[in-house]
Structure 1
Amino acid sequence: MKRIITLFFIFIFAISCSKTENTGEDATDNSLQKVKESGKLVLGLDDAFAPMSFINENEEIVGFDIDLAKEVAKIMGVELETKPVDWASSILSLKKGDIDVIWSGFAVNETRKKQVNFSKPYLYNRLMVAVYAGRDDIKTKEDLKGKVVGVQTGSSNYEILLNDPISKELKEIRQYDTYVNAFLDLEAQRIDAVVAGETTIRYYIAKENANFELLEEEPLTSQYVSVGLRKGDMELLNAIDNALDTIRTNGKASEIATKWFGQDIIVRVD
């Protein structure tokens, strides 16, 4: 009797293993194949996030990230399709399959790592504070106590600011759907400061007749910037990583960075 019971459990175990193996085969990653067959890489972006991705005066979506992505798509042999998304729900759009990648100044953090896969980083961006030019009362982060600070909702910057000890000393953290609106309010002095990536702040400072200054002190934090992909889309991830390596090596990435930032700020990783 014991021998029969033992054989029964061995039989059940063998069937379970077979099902597990079959499930693995059925779950083959065809993410790259789908992109190749469609002939396009669908890129989800924030269309008001200059200089990374934004709409110019000709109603075209342009930016540093867009130029990088075009080169990557070219290497992959597909067209690039840009698709503006609500940034606060960009990861949801990715998971639903509305887009293939999130590529718009997408910062790497632990919260996002639980939900998406990241490509190799291509930028290292410092999170800084911008103020209206000439504000003698705001020279350091500590001077923000009792002040109103703007930040983009749904961004990693909001999460970092919220977890910084200074947040408890602020009068208000005011959230904006885009940094365009945040800087408009800073220009009108309806808020006292804006927390954003250094690349974003320097873009607004460089604009004609801009009245903004960067607090030249230690950043709130520094973050890698990468491409976000669905968990499991490893074939597509590898293709994007390989293409990024190619444009780092052939100098195209440096050329694009110099075009947008005046210098080569591309991160090189193994």
Structure 2
Amino acid sequence: MLKFKLAATAASLAIGLALGATAAGAADVPATIKERGKVIVAIDVSHPPYGMLDSEAKETGSDVETAKLLAEDMGVPLEIVPVSGANRVPSLISRKVDMVIASFSITVERKKVIDYSKPYGVIPVVISASKETAIKAPADLAGESLAVARGTTADIELTRLVKDNGVDANIVRYEDEATTNTAVATGQQNILAAALSTANEVAEQNPALNLELKIDMAAYPMAVGLRKGDDELKAWVDEWVAKNLENGKLNTIYEKYFHQSLPKTIPEE
């Protein structure tokens, strides 16, 4: 199992919000959701452990449990709309859903077209390889071949890492995470750059590879995706995040699926 400690960053979200925010529910649930009688949330149920289907084809995962907790606090039933990573933003902009809870990291590019709640979690991005592979620093990647899914935050961070450190490494970009994981599992590449959850999954499914964490590249804040202009809903969700970070419910979900606690401080961007 890959585990690591996230470095402390910026000021504490929990402390900052506790000083100025009221409990979730002080802001009214938006009238459109109350009148409809349900909240509609986009979730990627093909991206474990965030979203997946269990043996009975029921949605489960950290995103699903987070959405269920949110709906419960709103006092309305939850309707899940399955999405892929690529259509999370379009489903929101086209008003097919009220919000997106789908391993949604905050990026500068996305913030140009959508809004975000206060972050409620993090998506660590790491490099893993077998225990026998001597990698302790970026310089050790010189001459190595690394697998990564094209366009992911792992791709962004890996590209930045090798460029900033002047490392001559061969980055092999696959079109999706499933293909990337298969390439590592079958020995096409021996080093993987991915989100921690993906690295954990590959390690667990392929114990013979003896994979372990080598470098933690970054930790992206994870938040609820919202439409620009939905200020009333954003106010409610921001207060909900503050309350459920403070009472530990969001941390309980995170620990269940990622086998470690949330960092004491969560970066805003």
Answer yes or no: same fold by TM over 0.5: yes
Q: Counterpart in 2 of 1:173?
A: 172
How is 1:144-163 mapped onto 2 (pairs within 5 angstroms)? Answer: 144-163=141-160
Tell me the amino acid that sits aligned with residue 104 of structure 1.
Answer: A
Provide the C-alpha distance between the structure 1 equivalents of 2:213 and 2:233, rounded to a whole number of angstroms.
39
Q: Counterpart in 1 of 2:246?
A: 249
Q: Counterpart in 2 of 1:221?
A: 218
Q: CA deviation at 1:79?
A: 1.8
Provide the C-alpha distance between the structure 2 equivalents of 1:77 and 1:266, rounded to a whole number of angstroms.
29
Relative to structure 1, the CA distance from residue 210 to residue 116 in structure 2 (aligned partners, 3 Å threshold; closer, same or farther) is: farther
Relative to structure 1, the CA distance from residue 76 to residue 138 in structure 2 (aligned partners, 3 Å threshold; closer, same or farther) is: same
Q: CA deviation at 1:59?
A: 1.9
Q: CA deviation at 1:154?
A: 4.4
How is 1:178-217 mapped onto 2 (pairs within 5 angstroms)? Answer: 179-207=177-205, 209=207, 211-217=209-215
Select the residue among 36, 39, 50 that pairs with 2:37: 39
Alpha-carbon displacement from aligned partner over 1:72-122 (angstroms, at most 9, x marks no partner):
111112222222223123212211122222212211121222121111111
Tell me the amino acid that sits aligned with residue 176 of structure 1.
Answer: E
Provide the C-alpha distance between the structure 2 equivalents of 1:189 and 1:155, rounded to a whole number of angstroms.
21
Alpha-carbon displacement from aligned partner over 1:125-170 (angstroms, at most 9, x marks no partner):
3310122x35536554434344443333443333333343359734
Q: CA deviation at 1:196?
A: 1.7
The answer as to whether partners of 2:29 and 2:236 remain within 8 angstroms in 1 is: no
- Report sequence identity in percent: 26
| Secondary structure of 2:220 counterpart | strand
Provide the C-alpha distance between the structure 1 equivalents of 2:54 and 2:226, rounded to a whole number of angstroms.
26
Q: Counterpart in 2 of 1:106?
A: 104
How is 1:44-63 mapped onto 2 (pairs within 5 angstroms)? Answer: 44-63=42-61
Relative to structure 1, the CA distance from residue 164 to residue 144 in structure 2 (aligned partners, 3 Å threshold; closer, same or farther) is: same
Q: CA deviation at 1:231?
A: 0.9
Moved over 4 A (4+): 137-140, 266-270
Relative to structure 1, the CA distance from residue 148 to residue 189 in structure 2 (aligned partners, 3 Å threshold; closer, same or farther) is: same
Provide the C-alpha distance between the structure 2 equivalents of 1:109 and 1:54, rounded to a whole number of angstroms.
24
Bigger radius of gyration, 1 or 2? 1
The answer as to whether partners of 2:138 and 2:161 remain within 8 angstroms in 1 is: no
User: Once structures 1 and 2 are overlaid, which stretch shifts more, 161-170 or 121-130?
Assistant: 161-170
TM-score, length-scaled by structure 1: 0.74
Tell me the amino acid that sits aligned with residue 229 of structure 2.
Answer: G
| Secondary structure of 1:232 counterpart | coil
| Secondary structure of 1:65 counterpart | helix
CA RMSD of aligned residues (A): 3.0
**Gaps (5+ residues) in structure 1?**
1-29
Relative to structure 1, the CA distance from residue 203 to residue 171 in structure 2 (aligned partners, 3 Å threshold; closer, same or farther) is: closer
The answer as to whether partners of 1:204 and 1:210 remain within 8 angstroms in 2 is: no
User: Once structures 1 and 2 are overlaid, which stretch shifts more, 195-204 or 95-104?
Assistant: 195-204
User: Once structures 1 and 2 are overlaid, which stretch shifts more, 63-72 or 88-97?
Assistant: 88-97
TM-score, length-scaled by structure 2: 0.75
Q: Counterpart in 2 of 1:97?
A: 95
Provide the C-alpha distance between the structure 1 equivalents of 2:61 and 2:106, rounded to a whole number of angstroms.
20
Task: Report how many aligned residue pairs link the two structures.
Answer: 238
Larger helix proportion, structure 1 or 2?
Answer: 1
User: Once structures 1 and 2 are overlaid, which stretch shifts more, 120-129 or 142-151?
Assistant: 142-151
| Secondary structure of 1:86 counterpart | coil
Q: Which one has more relative contact order, counting CA pairs under 8 Å at least 6 apart? A: 2
> Is 1:231 aligned to residue 228 of structure 2?
yes
